[in-house]
Amino acid sequence: MNSFELNNFLQKHTFFEKYLLNFKNNNDMQAIKSFIENTFFDKNLMRKFPLINDDNLEDFLINPKKQFETKTIPHPKNGIIFTCHPRFGEIIEHHHDYIEMVYVYSGKCNQVVNGTTIAMNKGDVCILDTNVLHSIEPASENDIIVNCLMSKKHLDNILIDRLSGNDLLSSFFIRALYYSNDFNEYILFNSSESAKLSKLMEDVLCEYFDKSLCSDEVINSYMIIIFSELLRVYENHTNTKSRHLLKNAGITDIILYIQNNCKDATLTSVSEHFHFHPNYLSTVIKKFTGNNFTFVLQEAKLKKAAFFLKNSNIPVIEVANSIGYENTNFFYKIFKKYFGCNPTEYRKNFSNE
């Protein structure tokens, strides 16, 4: 898929959009059934909004608002998915447990986040924290709004380490992954003038909607470049709503330090590194993550072990030793408690994918 083909794909009306154009305020059941029977259903276009499928299509056409209230929004599970907002209909207020990046491919987007209306133009990006209440006003013909949905697990496993060099995004994502649900933040990037970002978004969308060999790796790599470009945009166009995120780099640095030094880290060593009293550090970690130091450290070790098991042939005993566990039986026990299977089974599961 090239840029021209992508544009055609995104501009074409889905079955649901055709319905909204013709029957938005019409509940004539006979007319709706006639529409269903006589309108071509292009399943290829339904990839743009996988919430609607053969099983629930008629329910959506009869009462789309009710369906949005009761059906599950597409979920990225353990990865990344891209969707498009259906034009001509309102996306009602909702929230979810993953990170959402809203990109205006063309036209404009009026989004209400925590009661505040955010006006976005072509090329702008808004990244939403988990559990943020938001809705989108009805989009017109030329308003193509793309969603990138990213699971916590995917961010943790794939992106965090590679983003650790920048304060803004690493702070934002770590808060979403580890902190309590009290923050409900977003970052607005006024990136409409960035031709580079526009091209990167086109490329990643082409890759996603026309997947081939190694597409997942290519998409992950694109996302790193996209986030890096957003940081450059942010330096020049800082949204004041987001400035306070930078004030919390301290706890972010602590979490990253524990992750990067999990083999030998102790409460004492981490406290000394940051010049804190151990009791104070313990309190800070508990306040922001909801977990004690021991749990945060153990979680960091297990996630690093999982990475080695998925991406190398290193024997399990060596993996355990590399993260500071000399007792292999204990390592097996805590690994199974956290992941639901032992290290050998975990590696086998990924080798069979």
- Looking at per-residue confidence, does 125 or 242 come out higher? 125
pLDDT tens-digit map of 138-170: 888 999 999 998 887 777 666 655 655 545 555
Asked if the domains 3-238 and 243-351 are classified in one and the same CATH topology, the answer is no
Query: How many separate helices (H) and strands (E) can be counted in the chain?
Result: 17, 9
Q: What SS3 state is found at 313?
A: coil
**127-141, 168-182, 302-316 — which one is most confidently predicted on average?**
302-316
278 pLDDT above the threshold of 70:
yes
pTM, full prediction: 0.64
Share of the chain above pLDDT 90, in %: 29
pLDDT at res. 245:
42
pLDDT at res. 174:
58
Per-domain boundaries in the chain: 3-238, 243-351
How far apart, in whole angstroms, are the C-alpha atoms of residue 275 and residue 265? Answer: 15
Q: 243: pLDDT confidence band, cut at 50, 70 and 90?
A: very low
pLDDT at res. 163:
57
For tokens 């978004």, the residue is 201
Q: What SS3 state is found at 113?
A: strand
* φ, ψ for residue 145, nearest 5 deg: -115, 120
pLDDT tens-digit map of 293-351: 999 999 999 989 998 898 888 999 999 999 999 999 999 999 999 999 999 999 888 76
328, 321 Cβ separation under 8 angstroms: no
Sheet containing strand 186-189, strands side by side: 80-84, 144-150, 99-106, 125-128, 186-189
Share of the chain above pLDDT 70, in %: 70
**Angle at alpha carbon of residue 113, lines to 111 and 116, rounded to 5°:** 90
**Under CATH, which number does the domain 243-351 receive?**
1.10.10.60
pLDDT tens-digit map of 88-111: 877 778 877 788 899 999 999 999
- Looking at per-residue confidence, does 135 or 203 come out higher? 203
CA atoms within 13 A on the CB side of 10: 28
pLDDT at res. 332:
95
pLDDT tens-digit map of 28-59: 666 666 666 655 555 565 566 655 555 555 55
Multiple choice CATH, 3-238, 1.10.167.10, 3.30.70.240, 2.60.120.810, 3.40.50.2000: 2.60.120.810
219, 76 Cβ separation under 8 angstroms: no
180 pLDDT above the threshold of 50:
no
